[in-house]
């Protein structure tokens, strides 16, 4: 499995500002050309559109790559790209969700299916029993948890055999994920991470005081607020990138990739140029060099 995965949420066309869908689909095909073999999506991204467009962009390759999709959120559409959502990890909803994802993705089995978010109304054990049933029926090849805690991993392992977890993890916000990653690794689960670039904050493209349209979720994120300490971490990443003569996003990605417990880093891309730059983050690092040690020395990350 390639250690960088393609994040297909932008293909949904909502919550990330303006997205050129044609170019985003081209980026999917370019990712395949570059050797990426993990493509991450969810049924709620674009209210099903991300899955549909990902399948169309992959074409026949959708049967060869590892598609990771997520479920456990139901929605009532209110208009184009708008919906009222609620978490629902009940067995009946998960059955319907898996069958719907299979249709949208145009595949016979989902390689990896993740429970997207905790649902306080449904005992986790009930969800796990259904996920195991779906695996037994041959509708999913593997299953796991996304955005759950370390204690949830321990709970599901009592009644089922999860394959993977997915968690937000980056040089800016890593403490809350540490226990989850440690628990998953100790139990032999694959660890998928997202958010390595902190929604773009660690790419060097934005400066303190940047504003986003209401259609972009970053307009609502605290770490983009001018007074947030996240900007000091971003500045340290920028400084190290200048020293290394590499893009800041390479430094941010390398920080996650240096953790041997991480199986795959999922990174969203809207364009072919973006996925090419993301892919090149794997190349050209000297033996023994550590981004983590360098950033720690500057006091800019993981402090």
**Is pLDDT at 255 greater than 50 in this prediction?**
yes
The more confidently predicted of residues 42 and 79 is 42
State both tokens at 142: 């593997």
Per-residue pLDDT tens over the stretch 200-223: 889 988 778 677 777 776 777 677
- Global pTM value: 0.93
Per-residue pLDDT tens over the stretch 52-69: 999 999 999 999 999 999
- Say whether 216 sits in a helix, a strand or coil: strand
Per-residue pLDDT tens over the stretch 66-110: 999 999 999 988 777 677 899 999 999 999 999 999 999 999 999
CB under 8 Å to 246, separation ≥6 — which residues?
284
Percent helix, strand and coil across the chain, each to the nearest 5: 45, 15, 35
**Is pLDDT at 303 greater than 80 in this prediction?**
no
Model confidence band, residue 302 (pLDDT cutoffs 50, 70, 90)? very low
**Is pLDDT at 296 greater than 80 in this prediction?**
no
**Is pLDDT at 16 greater than 90 in this prediction?**
no
Sign, CA dihedral 150-151-157-159, equals negative
State both tokens at 143: 């299953």
Residue 207, pLDDT score:
76
State both tokens at 288: 């023994």
What is the SS3 assignment for 67-127? EEEEECEEEEEEECCEEEEEECCCHHHHHHHHHHHHHHHCCCCECEEEECCCCCCCCHHHH
Residue 298, pLDDT score:
52
CA 46 to CA 41: how far, in whole Å? 10
Residue 301, pLDDT score:
52
Which of these, 100, 103, 101, 163, lies nearest to 128 by C-alpha position? 163
Cβ distance 172 to 228 under 8 Å? Answer: no
Q: Which of 84-88, 230-234, 264-268 has the highest mean pLDDT?
A: 264-268
Which range has the worst mean pLDDT, 43-47, 158-162, 203-207, 240-244? Answer: 203-207
Following CA atoms 176, 203, 68, 143 in sequence, which dihedral angle do they give, to the nearest 10 degrees?
A: -10
**Is pLDDT at 180 greater than 80 in this prediction?**
yes
CA 298 to CA 295: how far, in whole Å? 5
Residue 79, pLDDT score:
72
**Is pLDDT at 297 greater than 70 in this prediction?**
no
CA 22 to CA 10: how far, in whole Å? 11
At the fourth CATH level, which superfamily is domain 4-203+248-288?
Answer: NADP-dependent oxidoreductase domain (3.20.20.100)
């Amino acid at each position: 499995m390639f250690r960088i995965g393609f994040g297909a949420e932008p293909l949904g066309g909502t919550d990330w500002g303006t997205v050129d869908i044609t170019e985003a689909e081209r980026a999917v095909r370019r990712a395949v050309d570059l050797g990426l073999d993990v493509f991450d999506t969810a049924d709620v991204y674009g209210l099903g559109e991300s899955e549909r467009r990902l399948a169309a962009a992959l074409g026949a390759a959708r049967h060869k790559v590892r598609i990771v999709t997520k479920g456990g959120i139901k929605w009532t559409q209110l208009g184009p790209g708008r919906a009222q959502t609620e978490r629902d990890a009940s067995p009946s909803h998960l059955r319907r969700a898996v069958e719907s994802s299979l249709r949208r993705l145009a595949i016979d089995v989902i390689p990896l299916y993740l429970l997207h978010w905790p649902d306080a109304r449904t005992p986790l054990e009930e969800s796990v029993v259904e996920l195991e049933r779906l695996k037994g029926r041959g509708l999913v090849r593997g299953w796991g948890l996304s955005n759950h805690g370390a204690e949830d991993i321990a709970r599901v392992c009592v009644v089922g055999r999860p394959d993977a977890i997915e968690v937000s993890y980056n040089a800016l916000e890593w403490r809350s994920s540490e226990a989850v990653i440690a628990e998953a690794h100790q139990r032999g689960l694959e660890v998928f991470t997202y958010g390595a670039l902190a929604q773009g904050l660690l790419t060097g493209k934005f400066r303190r005081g940047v504003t986003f349209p209401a259609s972009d979720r970053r307009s609502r994120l605290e770490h983009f607020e001018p007074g947030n300490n996240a900007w000091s971490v971003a500045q340290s990443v920028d400084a190290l990138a200048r020293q290394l003569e590499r893009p800041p996003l390479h430094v941010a990605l390398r920080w996650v990739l240096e953790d041997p417990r991480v199986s795959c880093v999922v990174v969203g891309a809207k364009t072919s140029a973006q996925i090419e730059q993301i892919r090149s983050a794997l190349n050209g690092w000297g033996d023994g060099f550590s981004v983590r040690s360098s950033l720690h020395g500057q006091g800019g990350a993981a402090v």
